[in-house]
Amino acid sequence: MDLLIDSFISAFFLIFSFDAEMIFIVGVSLKVSIASTLIAGIVGVPAGFMIAFESFPGKRIVITVLNTLLALPTVVIGLFVYTFISRRGIFGPFDLLYTQKAIIIGQVILIIPVVTVFTITAINRIDERYRKTAMTLGANRIQTAWVIFREARFGIIAAIIASFGRVISEVGISMMLGGNIKGFTRTMTTAMALEYDKGAFILSIALGIVLLGISFGMNMLFHFFQGRSRA
């Protein structure tokens, strides 16, 4: 019990002393997570919108596949991307392995299904009467789509926030593709795993507190936007 209390007290000191190593690790985590969320948003939001808005053969199969991909383990993605970017992989010459770019690639693959599926859900939840109203008021197809998008905007923002929450807290991809290299690819989760292995809990707990704080903030935002989308 003393270990826990002492570690917590030291962790808080570490946080409020703005320890350089800790700040760097948090910075790397935020950088790769924001980058992967933005890329996944750019791809996933339009994809989810098109899937929800349009009717096409095989639509249900596409949604089923996307739903299945939600459960994709991070280590599987890590392994999959590794085969492409390792020295012997087809993207080997780009020297991506054990870089922040590699982590971003893996995380984008992880959360594209999340953004897409949540966007589909947000669009599907919009009352069909919005489409009908826009059409009867003379809107063309693009203007009608824009009306639907606007009405679903809070749900879509919630989708993006949920995706960010997923990547900031993942460890498998960051470890396998980033390699947990100090000063380069060490993220909060990989650093915590390493510190735990070393038996040094202070930095680990400090990072855990920061991670929980970020997750809490994200959840607050998520519920705020979800609430707006239901209003």
Partner 1 sequence: MTVYELHQLTKIYDERTVLDIPDLKIKENRIYSLLGPNGTGKTTLLNILGFLEPPSGGKITYRSKPVRFVESELQALRRDVILVDQFPILFTATVWKNLEFGLKVRKISKGKRTRMIQEALDLVGMRDFALAQAHKLSGGETQRVALARALALSPRVFLCDEPTSSVDVENQAIILNILKRINQTKRMTIVFTTHDRTQARTISDQTLVLDRGRLLEAGYDNIFSAVPDLNSLGETKCVIHPNISLLMDSHKIKPAKDRFRILIDPKQIHPLRKAGKEFPVNVLQGIVRQVVDENSKIRVVVDSGVRLILLMTEKTYRHSQIFVGDSITYYIPPQAIQAID
Q: DSSP readout, 29-74?
A: HHHHHHHHHHHHHHHHHHHHHHHHHS--TTHHHHHHHHHHHTT--H
CB of 218 to partner 1, least distance (A): 24
- Tokens representing 179 are 């390699």
- Tokens representing 111 are 């959360």
**Backbone φ, ψ for residue 137 (5° rounding):** -85, 5
CB of 50 to partner 1, least distance (A): 17
Q: Return residues touching partner 1 (CB under 8 A).
A: 127, 129-130, 132-141, 143, 147, 150-151, 231
CB of 126 to partner 1, least distance (A): 10
CB of 44 to partner 1, least distance (A): 23
Nearer to partner 1, 150 or 198 (CB): 150
- Taking the alpha carbons at both ends of the chain, their separation in whole angstroms is 46
Please give the Cα distance from 228 to 81 (Å, whole number).
Answer: 37
Please give the Cα distance from 5 to 42 (Å, whole number).
Answer: 44
Nearer to partner 1, 59 or 141 (CB): 141
CB of 213 to partner 1, least distance (A): 32
Nearer to partner 1, 21 or 127 (CB): 127
Nearer to partner 1, 66 or 148 (CB): 148
Nearer to partner 1, 8 or 130 (CB): 130
3-state SS, 95-137, equals CCCCCHHHHHHHHHHHHHHHHHHHHHHHHHCCCHHHHHHHHHC
Nearer to partner 1, 88 or 129 (CB): 129
CB of 127 to partner 1, least distance (A): 6
Residues with Cβ < 8 Å from 24, sequence gap 6 or more? 183, 186
